[in-house]
Amino acid sequence: MLGPLILAASRSDRMRRLVSAAPMTKPVVGRFIPGETVDQVIPVVAGLTDRGLEVTLDVVGEDITTRAQATAARDAYLRLIERLGPLGLGTRAEMSVKLSMFGQSLEGGHELALANVRPVVEAAAAIGTSVTLDAEDHTTLDSMFAVHGELRKDFPGTGCVIQAYLFRTEEDARRLAAGGSRVRLVKGAYKEPASVAHQDRAGIDKSYVRILRTLMEGAGYPMIGSHDPRLISVGQELARRAGRKLDEYEFQMLYGIRSEEHLRLAAQGHRMRVYTAYGTDWYGYFMRRLAEKPANLLFFVRSMITK
Ligand code: FAD
């Protein structure tokens, strides 16, 4: 009930201004976004990798409106990669990008996003790591998959994200699994209409399991992006049945969510990657985290009242 309302607010400029400007927001945001600058996030990366975890880094931002912002997004990732290089982490620190931040929704956006993301993928490859393309709302996905296909011609390790709530995803999963791609499967975090997406939890979870089976039985590298204890167990069982070794798939969770579970899976020998977002334009990312668990909203409101 609250989730869809929060997701609608995540697209409102007025709410963005209100929430972003409130000084009391910062400590709550910090639970999910451990810094605004590359200087702040590098020690976080070191702390996570020292504890046996892997990371995927997201410079927050999306839905930009000018070409200059798209160029700035590209440059922010290039600066990040420059700083990661000397740490020598290789694939233990990869990048996640949203193509909307690289200009996808502007005029000529598909080509623009591809042109902006390519140097990031090249720079990542030069330090021995890769990039995963996040999945945004369903209207952007044909373009995202086309960019992914283009990038894989030169950088086959480029990954992409698919969303279990969308009806189209079972077919996307079959194609990507057959093509041997790295694929992160998530439930899906956007407000989507009933014409394209399951609306009920049970339907989404069943779809997740069917798609995960396809990925596990395929030729690619499945990345299980979920905090759901049941799906984590199902993922382990499907990997076992498909005869996959522990380094032939991985788990991924978001920074600040079920952190003890990150360590538990890593201690069992699993590859566990923490999606770590940082930057100043955190509004959209933050609101999706509130929508996933409305209890977060109560925590947020309480912290505003008690300040
Ligand atoms: P849920 O059933 O939502 O959660 C299971 C349990 O996890 C909850 O009971 C709760 O204990 C905990 N939990 C989950 N979310 C929260 C939260 N926000 N705050 C506190 N506790 C929480 N979505 C996209 O649409 N595109 C993407 O590219 C994308 N990338 C992602 C990358 C990663 C690594 C992960 C983990 C998620 C990503 N998502 C993405 C978000 C995803 O679609 C879901 O919205 C999100 O993961 C919540 O679903 P869940 O599978 O964790 O299950």
Total number of domains in the chain: 1
Structural domain boundaries enclosing 249: 34-281
pLDDT over threshold 70, residue 190? yes
Residue at 291 is within a domain: no
What digits encode the pLDDT tens for the residues 235-270? Answer: 999 999 999 999 999 999 999 999 999 999 999 999
The active-site residue, picked from 74, 92, 152, 184, is: 184
pLDDT over threshold 90, residue 103? yes
Q: What is the CATH number of the domain that holds 48?
A: 3.20.20.220
Residue at 147 is within a domain: yes
**Residue 245 is labelled as binding a ligand:** no
**Interval between CA 153 and ligand 1 midpoint (Å):** 30
pLDDT for 24 equals 63
Residue at 256 is within a domain: yes
Residue at 297 is within a domain: no
Residue at 43 is within a domain: yes
In this prediction, what percent of the chain has a pLDDT beyond 70? 97
Residue at 121 is within a domain: yes
Q: How far is CA 180 from CA 10, 11, 118, 128, 138, in A?
A: 35, 35, 20, 19, 23
What is the position in ligand 1's atom list of the atom closest to the CA of 188?
43
Residue at 307 is within a domain: no
pLDDT classification of 219: cutoffs 50, 70, 90:
very high
Q: Which tokens belong to 57? A: 């880094």
Residue at 293 is within a domain: no
**Interval between CA 126 and ligand 1 midpoint (Å):** 31
The bridge status of strand 93-97 relative to strand 54-59 is parallel
With beta carbons less than 8 A apart as the criterion, state whether 285 and 28 touch.
Answer: no
ipTM for the predicted complex comes to 0.98
User: For all residues of the chain together, what is the average pLDDT?
Assistant: 94
